[in-house]
Amino acid sequence: MCEMMALQAKHPIPIEEVLGYATLLDEYGVAGFSWGITWRSESGAIQRYRAVEGIRRDPLVHRALAGVSSNQYLVHLRRPSLMSTISFVNAQPYLTRDAQVAFAHNGFFARHREFRNTYQAELIGTSDSEVGFQFYEHQLASGMDPTEALTLTQNELGGDANIGVMLADGSVLFYSGHHDNAVYAFTIGETRFATTALHSGDDYVFQSVFPRAEAIEQVPARTVYTL
């Protein structure tokens, strides 16, 4: 029941602008139990911030992120499928140890228990999403194309899944695969966005969060949108 958003701009934009959109997604969506954000720094490295509180209750967010500016962001607002998994280590996006891959998931990987033993030594938390993250990371390590690896992750772990990833090569990808939370791509000025739809089968996300959106298109199910 999470919400996600990614964006890619031609020029760096202040993180405060992104936090404004994220706060509205949290307010009108069904998240609110933890949140996180990744962005690309001037050096090209992927940076991350996350908190166990929802973004609207996070007392440190504006102080911790003051002055951040980037042309790429990935935001995850969490409402876990299993409430017992509320904890800091289960907050997303996940980030590889070498900070080369960030991964965020909205949905439920139905077969996560079948794969958990395979990655047990590398798992830190208890969520189904982290199993999917490990599966995806291993496909990349084997040399698989990042887009193909996203589709394989969904196909092998099953269930519903929207997945956002940020890669060290500068790519930001958004997989659409949740039957109850569509993914939309659009632009605001020269910035490209992808967002989930508040688990609402209408265009309310554009009324409440992105009223200036243009060139709106729904990302077809089981496909990957490249920002």
Read off the pLDDT of each residue in 81-93 and give the average, rounded to a whole number. 83
- DSSP assignment string, 195-224: EE-TT-SSSHHHHHT-TT-EEEEEPPTTEE
User: Token pair for residue 173?
Assistant: 């990808």
Q: Residue 8: its pLDDT value, please?
A: 97
User: Token pair for residue 119?
Assistant: 């990655």
User: Token pair for residue 141?
Assistant: 């390590």
Over the stretch 7-65, which tens digit does the pLDDT of each residue have? 999 999 999 999 999 999 999 998 888 999 999 988 888 999 999 999 999 999 999 99
Read off the pLDDT of each residue in 55-81 and give the average, rounded to a whole number. 94
Distance, in Å, from the CA atom of 180 to the CA atom of 201, rounded to the nearest integer, reads: 8
194 forms bridges with which residues in the sheet? 6, 185
47, exposed or middle or buried, with CB in 10 Å at 0-12, 13-18, 19+? middle
Look-up: residue for tokens 């079948």?
114
Distance, in Å, from the CA atom of 22 to the CA atom of 20, rounded to the nearest integer, reads: 5
Give all domains of the chain, ordered by start, each with its CATH number. 3-226 (3.60.20.10)
Look-up: residue for tokens 């228990």?
113
Read off the pLDDT of each residue in 64-69 and give the average, rounded to a whole number. 96
54, 31 contact by CB (below 8 A): yes
188, exposed or middle or buried, with CB in 10 Å at 0-12, 13-18, 19+? middle
pLDDT for 103 beyond 80: yes
User: Token pair for residue 40?
Assistant: 């690309």
Q: Residue 161: its pLDDT value, please?
A: 95
Does 80 sit behind a cis peptide bond, omega within 30 degrees of 0 on the bond before it? no
List the one residue out of 74, 12, 85, 26 whose CA is nearest residue 49.
Answer: 74
pTM (global) more than 0.85: yes
Q: Residue 174: its pLDDT value, please?
A: 98
Which helix or strand (DSSP H or E) is residue 75 part of?
A: strand 69-78
In one-letter notation, the amino acid at residue 164 is: G
Name the percent of the chain lying above pLDDT 70.
100
Q: Residue 80: its pLDDT value, please?
A: 74
pLDDT for 121 beyond 80: yes
Quote the radius of gyration of the chain (alpha carbons, Å). Answer: 16
133, 119 contact by CB (below 8 A): no
